[in-house]
Amino acid sequence: MRCISPTWKTSFILATMALLCFVTPTLVSAQITPAGGTAAGDDTQPPSARVGAVVFYDYTFQNIPKATDAAGNAISPNAFNVARAYVNVTGNISHLVSYRITPDINATRFALAGNNLDGSYVFRLKYAYAQVALTDWTGAWGGSYVRVGVQQTPFIDGLESAYRYRFQGTVFEERDGGMSSSDAGATFHANFPKSYGDFHVGVYNGENYNKAEVNDQKAIMARVTVRPMPSGGAIARGLRVTAFRDNDHVVRGADRIRTVGGLVLEQRRFNLGADYMTRSDQTLPTVAKVKSDGYTMWLTPFFKEKGNGVEMLLRYDSFRPNSANKSARQNRTIAGLAYWFPHPGGAGTAALMLDYEQVAFKNLSAAKQQRVTLHGLINF
């Protein structure tokens, strides 16, 4: 397969975004995805519990790099995988108090040589939190709540309300930014009045949901998302602008900081987004900081309607691991075609996606990667 230069790819994606934004405004209308939260309960009913599941499965063929099997044969690795399996238990104690418990079986496997668990999937707790709704007291500031426990982190949770292709792979800030979608902490969320956006701020351990806290340092995370023109025209209503900051330390005096600025445009016929991220990492106070940065652009056209029928995913990520070496970059290109099965009544979601992904490296000692994957999603 002939490789297309990153410059050509970037230009193509930007041109496609511009075409959709400015040539077809009369054909689209804003499709707003409200900030997430747990539905209020009914105090006249007993406590409730609901069970659901999420499964990401795939078949992946790796074209580059080649590998060698136990007999020394050159092979193209390929495998059927279950990348993720959640069991969601959610419910309400009252109209104020709700909860979620989500164990997670993911693609990570044990490496325990000589043990019968060697190669088995790892079972982890992804979410386990209590949520207290504050809407009885906050008036126009809807969606107000406090959460305590292992829960979503502000940025990724906010972005994935519009970017719905986690079953293809994680977002740029998680893959290359060292961020996680979940961590243990205490947070506060609220919507701005009159649909002008929302904000989410919290104190987290900073070690992510798959690790225990190792010291006295905590991560302060804050996301603010603004919808500048919620009552505007078709294009304007769907625009939202986000600023995010994760201020943490590996140990006292050793920075671990992430800053992201981005925008999302949600429309009836497409969603698109672009983010720019900087990060600063320092393992010890006596060690020099490593600063890095990068950006992502993505577009998801809907041929029928969002979540029903054929869609595409076009995405380009560019990451500079060390800003001191300005010419060294890692560039990722993803192009995929998806089919979202009809779901009468909205009871669940099922989708299939065939995609091509390439990761190329410039002035870095790493081999180019190329893979073709058939992804599947079940969510109910």
Alpha helices in 160-207 (DSSP H): 172-175
Say whether the peptide bond before residue 230 is cis (omega within 30 degrees of 0). no
Q: Is 155 helix (H, G, I), strand (E, B) or coil?
A: helix
Q: What is the pLDDT of residue 362?
A: 95
The stretch 200-219 carries a mean pLDDT of 93
d(CA 25, CA 234): 7
Count other Cβ atoms within 10 Å, centred on residue 36: 15
**Bridge partner residues of 52 (DSSP):** 88
Q: How confident is residue 341, by pLDDT bands cut at 50, 70 and 90?
A: very high
Strand partners, 334: 315, 357
Helix (H) or strand (E) holding 146: strand 145-152
Number of neighbours of residue 127 by Cβ within 10 angstroms: 22
Phi first, then psi: what are they for 61, rounded to 5°?
-115, 120
Q: Tell me: the pLDDT tens digits for 39-64?
A: 556 677 788 899 999 999 999 999 99
Q: What is the largest CA-CA distance in the chain?
A: 68
- The distance of Cα 64 from the centroid of its chain, to the nearest Å, equals 26
Angle, alpha carbons 181-152-185 (nearest 5°): 110
Q: pLDDT (tens digit, 9 = 90+) per residue, 255-312?
A: 999 999 999 999 999 999 999 999 999 999 999 999 999 999 999 999 998 889 999 9
Helix (H/G/I), strand (E/B), else coil: 109: strand
Residue type, 267: Q
DSSP letter for 3, please. Answer: P
